[in-house]
Amino acid sequence: MTQTSTLARGGADTSAPARRSRKPTRGPGLSPRAVPYVLLLPGLLVIAVLLLYPIYQMIEMSFHKVGLRQIKAVNPAPAEFVGLDNYDSVLGSPLFWSSLRNTVVFAAVTVALTLILGTLVGLLLNRLGGKMSTFVVVGIMAAWATPPTAQAVVWKWLFDSDAGVVNWLLNLLPDWLSRLLFGRSDWTGEPWFNDTSTLYFVLIVAVVWASFPFIAVSVLAGLKSIPSELYEAAKMDGSGPVTTFRRITFPLLKPVFSVLVVLSIIWDFKVFTQLYLLAGGTTNRDAFNLSLWSYAEAFGGSAPKLGLGAAIAVVLTVILLLITLVYVRQIVKTEDDIR
Amino acid sequence: MNPLARRRLVQVALNAAGLAVFLFAVFPVYWMVATAFKPNDQIFTTSFIPFPSPPSLDHVQRVFTKGVGELPIWQYLLNSTIVALSAVVIGAVFALLAATAVARFRFRFRTSFLILLLIVQMVPAEALLIPLFTMVKRIGLYDQMLGLIVINVGLTLPFSVWMLRTFVSAVPKELEEAAWIDGAGRFTTFWRVLFPLVAPGLVATSIFAFITTWNEFVFALTLINDQGKYTMPVALNYFVGQRSTDWGGIMAASTLMTIPVLVFFLLVQRRMVSGLVAGAVKG
């Protein structure tokens, strides 16, 4: 690229043409223009077969009735085209509204809490001394690194009704305070996983715990890139911490925040593993979100309805892609070398 | 209050907040490990026992010998390792080739390819699950670790390419040009010049893909039926379902599953952040 422009400017640099002339002769038999395509081919094939084609198939299946007879290994029956029936069942089901509510409320609360906590911790890390900062970063890394299945299991244990640490902690509260706040004073034996709202409370705690470290570390990386002169100038002008954050930190970190918001929404919208383990599989229909509902229809029962499951997945994907567009636009805008 | 004392007070408050964050983050992980090493009478109690005293290896030994479900845990750890390593090695080759293409060449559809990489990452895995399940069944890869390996290559590839391309771009082009002038062929240039310089980035990308595959749950749950082929997350889920109150054993299994991820994490965390928020963080 650079060489072409030197030439276009009519530069008298003698070494440039010499360098140029060697380049196209490289690689016997393979024209240099074909090279990037050849390099790209294996990866593109993988993406086409394992990601793009399944997306197309998911959409196609959502218009068909696909059950046991259609997926058996020997001599499967052809899928029956049912038009919009699956979508009718999805939108007409009471489970749609409860799953959608669970999905949206969970994502909204979790994204907000994760971002607030993560940002505060990021700001805190930026003001801590070197050693203390490293110490805290290593600590939050432990939460971040815990595999989702292990996260779910650990929080289930912490919220165990009899021997869980959380009930023990709540029992420590003075009786009058506990009664004032929660209307009760004895927490021993309190089950957390029977009720959908308390189950989701535990899920929110678990997911926020596991995802705030990423936000904190990203915000910290962003903060380190802001020149300290700006803060010194703000201080000279008598700006307080809140004003400084609103007028300097936030505007400069806005691109970081918008990416983090969208990534968090995407991750929290489709939470599956932790919910599956906390809810104990697909038996508790009240606790379904869209991901778990789709899974339950397709694989949960003795009569799998893959077409219906695919229709639910399409609805979820459309919601996510609408949000994703914002993310893609943001990245295309900030990443100079993409074009 | 004089300014110096005030500053000191603020610093103390900040450190206290830092400590609180540390404890909130670490305690559940600590509690997992501590429970794994506690004898049962210290687990099933309504009082708070901060340390295993004395520590007991009963649970760890039990998950290794009698096992999780019907098989000893090393079987699942081995399965997970096989799936993750195979997916990572295959994925690394594909990712390196594609990353070189987008970082080193300008060609038609380059931008489209990059945007495609972003978009496919956003499609929920649960949405791909249903069509991939029927596909895997049709071609006879159901209940085979090979099927799981192939799918994990697909799931990790877009992000690997996305992350690796920044490492390839960071290698100065002049080095390759110098090799060309010295008469090195295209392959030699790639193998002797570019590859060694990209290797650290390739390691970071591979570790990230390893963690993703190691943690992957829903495909392993759906595509594997034979217990001898369960990966660790599925085995843990099975264990919880079978013996929901065996907290010592469950925590021992969780600990064994978390350790490799934790080690890898500390190795690559910095690069992971830069890969995920690519471009948005400058500097």
| A25 is a domain residue | no
Q: What's the pTM? A: 0.88
Strand runs labelled E in chain A: 64-65, 80-81
CB B61 within 8 A of CB B191: no
pLDDT given at position A266: 84
CB A330 within 8 A of CB A257: no
One pLDDT digit (tens) per residue for chain A, 339 residues: 333 333 333 333 333 344 444 444 444 456 778 889 999 999 999 999 999 999 999 999 999 988 877 777 667 777 889 889 999 999 999 999 999 999 999 999 999 999 999 999 999 999 898 889 889 998 999 998 999 999 999 999 999 988 899 999 988 888 888 888 887 778 888 889 989 999 999 999 999 999 999 999 889 888 888 888 888 888 888 888 888 888 888 888 887 888 788 888 888 988 999 999 999 888 889 999 999 999 999 998 778 899 999 999 999 999 888 877 877 777 777 766 665
- pLDDT tens-digit series, residues B60-82: 998 888 877 778 999 999 999 99
Verify whether the Cβ–Cβ distance B24 to A209 is below 8 Å: yes
| A183 is a domain residue | yes
CB B198 within 8 A of CB B167: yes
- Residues β-bridged to residue B71: B68
| A20 is a domain residue | no
| A224 is a domain residue | yes
The backbone region for A324, taken as left when phi is positive above 0, alpha when psi lies in -120 to 50, beta otherwise, is alpha
pLDDT given at position A23: 46
Using CA atoms, how far apart are residues B42 and A81, in angstroms rounded to an integer? 59
Is the CB of B137 inside 8 Å of chain A's CB atoms?
A: yes
pLDDT given at position B126: 81
Where along chain B do its domains lie?
73-276
pLDDT band at B130 (very low <50, low <70, confident <90, very high): very high
CB A155 within 8 A of CB A198: no
Is the CB of A138 inside 8 Å of chain B's CB atoms?
A: yes
Verify whether the Cβ–Cβ distance A39 to B107 is below 8 Å: no
Using CA atoms, how far apart are residues A103 and A97, in angstroms rounded to an integer? 10
| A39 is a domain residue | no
Among the listed residues A339, A327, A321, A325, the one whose alpha carbon sits nearest the alpha carbon of residue B109: A339
pLDDT band at B228 (very low <50, low <70, confident <90, very high): very high
With residues binned 3-state (H G I as helix, E B as strand, rest as coil), the percentages for chain A, rounded to 5, are 75, 0, 25
Which residues 260-279 of chain B have a CB within 8 Å of chain A? 261-262, 264-266, 269, 273-274, 276-279
Amino acid identity of residue A127, one-letter, is R
Report the 10 Å Cβ neighbour count for B184. 17
Amino acid identity of residue B58, one-letter, is D
Verify whether the Cβ–Cβ distance A225 to B281 is below 8 Å: yes
Is the CB of A259 inside 8 Å of chain B's CB atoms?
A: yes
Q: How many domains does chain A have?
A: 1
Pairs of CB atoms within 8 A across A/B: 326
The structure tokens 């309504």 sit at: B46
Distance (Å) from the C-alpha of residue B231 to the closest C-alpha of chain A? 12
Q: In this structure, what is the dihedral angle of CA atoms B152, B156, B158, B160, given to the nearest 10 degrees? A: -140
Is the CB of B198 inside 8 Å of chain A's CB atoms?
A: no
Mutate to test the interface with B, among A25, A31, A41, A47 (most CBs of B within 10 A): A47
Among the listed residues B28, B43, B248, the one whose alpha carbon sits nearest the alpha carbon of residue A158: B28
Taking the domain B73-276, which CATH number applies? 1.10.3720.10
Using CA atoms, how far apart are residues B253 and B67, in angstroms rounded to an integer? 9
Mutate to test the interface with A, among B132, B277, B282 (most CBs of A within 10 A): B277
Verify whether the Cβ–Cβ distance B135 to A54 is below 8 Å: yes
Using CA atoms, how far apart are residues B35 and B63, in angstroms rounded to an integer? 14
- Kindly report the CA angle at A125 between A124 and A128, in degrees rounded to 5? 85
pLDDT given at position A158: 95
Which residues 91-110 of chain A have a CB within 8 Å of chain B? none
pLDDT band at B247 (very low <50, low <70, confident <90, very high): very high
Q: Nearest residue of B to residue A57 by CA position? A: B131
Range of the domain at A227: 104-334
Using CA atoms, how far apart are residues A88 and A63, in angstroms rounded to an integer? 11
| A253 is a domain residue | yes
CB B43 within 8 A of CB B248: yes
| A326 is a domain residue | yes
Q: Nearest residue of B to residue A148 by CA position? A: B215
pLDDT band at B280 (very low <50, low <70, confident <90, very high): very low
CB B258 within 8 A of CB A147: yes
pLDDT given at position A186: 82
Verify whether the Cβ–Cβ distance A36 to B250 is below 8 Å: no
Encoded tokens for B77: 């750890």
CATH, residue A286: 1.10.3720.10
| A15 is a domain residue | no
CB within 8 A of B214, min separation 6: which ones? A147, B80, B84, B232, B260, B261
pLDDT given at position B279: 45
- pLDDT tens-digit series, residues B133-166: 999 988 889 999 999 999 999 999 998 998 898 8
- pLDDT tens-digit series, residues B35-50: 999 998 898 888 888 8
Is the CB of A162 inside 8 Å of chain B's CB atoms?
A: yes
Rounded to the nearest 5°, which phi and psi values hold at A75?
A: 55, 60
What percentage of chain B carries pLDDT values higher than 70?
94
pLDDT band at B276 (very low <50, low <70, confident <90, very high): low
pLDDT given at position A15: 39
